[in-house]
Structure 1
């Protein structure tokens, strides 16, 4: 059975942040709550609101069929306009930064369905490159959806903990 995917709405912010926390926990092996959560909720509420054609963030979700108001999975990404270049005539790039499935719903295709919906959202906007950072457990899924290695960028990171 194909999971029912829908676009996220501002009211999903709390659950999207919960799933984001589960993603961080899966990556580090420990929960990492903190000041980032209320800020993330506010950002999601603001950026998932308004007409779809004006949004620079999208999220697609699968509802938990057994728990109304809870999400089983999500995929969240942003749209960025850069200067156009050869092969990138509109200068539109995507970044996927949050794909997470609640442990009780894993291995059922929910993450794949949400990611496919997000990729289709990018495609409808003529995005020419979508980047993401893959965990080892997610790499096979992303490769199956057409993702591959790209040039290794330099990064500057300055972590702030609240």
Structure 2
């Protein structure tokens, strides 16, 4: 039996470690330490402690080292303007689904993501978005995700603090 639990602020450093592993896998190199890890950890600690959570994570601990995480799935809740397909405007966003390389192919990411989706369902959030890497797409399709017609775009604004 896989023990999935909701992450706490005490898991923030491990969530950042797994995020580094995910970023390295996506970009074929380890991310540089430009202070992002400390900022990410502080953000996680703050948001995981919030009384009205807008960020939630589910984790599986490593069986041989319970203080270290084997896998995680993190999600946020955004309140957008409602529309015909989503009248209340609440939208979940799944990101940072990562597994420590030594613990892959055991279903941990699936269990974490499934727990996150159940949390969304329990909180009345019917629309959930994510971006998938090609290797992860079969997992998300098996959970019911499908491609949308809306292409993602991004702008990096220079000169901001």
- With the shorter chain as reference, the TM-score category is over 0.9
Whole-angstrom distance in 2 between the partners of 1:7 and 1:120: 12
Q: Which residue of 2 aligns with 1:59?
A: 57
Which range moved further: 15-24 or 63-72?
63-72
Q: Which residue of 1 aligns with 2:105?
A: 107
Q: Which residue of 2 aligns with 1:41?
A: 41
Normalized against structure 1, the TM-score is what? 0.92
Whole-angstrom distance in 2 between the partners of 1:84 and 1:61: 31
- C-alpha displacement of 1:36: 1.0
Normalized against structure 2, the TM-score is what? 0.92
Whole-angstrom distance in 2 between the partners of 1:94 and 1:65: 29
Gaps of 5+ in 1: none
Q: Which residue of 2 aligns with 1:25?
A: 24
Whole-angstrom distance in 2 between the partners of 1:10 and 1:159: 30
Whole-angstrom distance in 1 between the partners of 2:46 and 2:92: 19
Q: Is 1:12 equivalent to 2:11 in the alignment?
A: yes
Q: Secondary structure at the residue paired with 2:95?
A: strand
Whole-angstrom distance in 1 between the partners of 2:24 and 2:129: 22
Gaps of 5+ in 2: none
Which range moved further: 139-148 or 83-92?
83-92
Q: Which residue of 1 aligns with 2:88?
A: 90
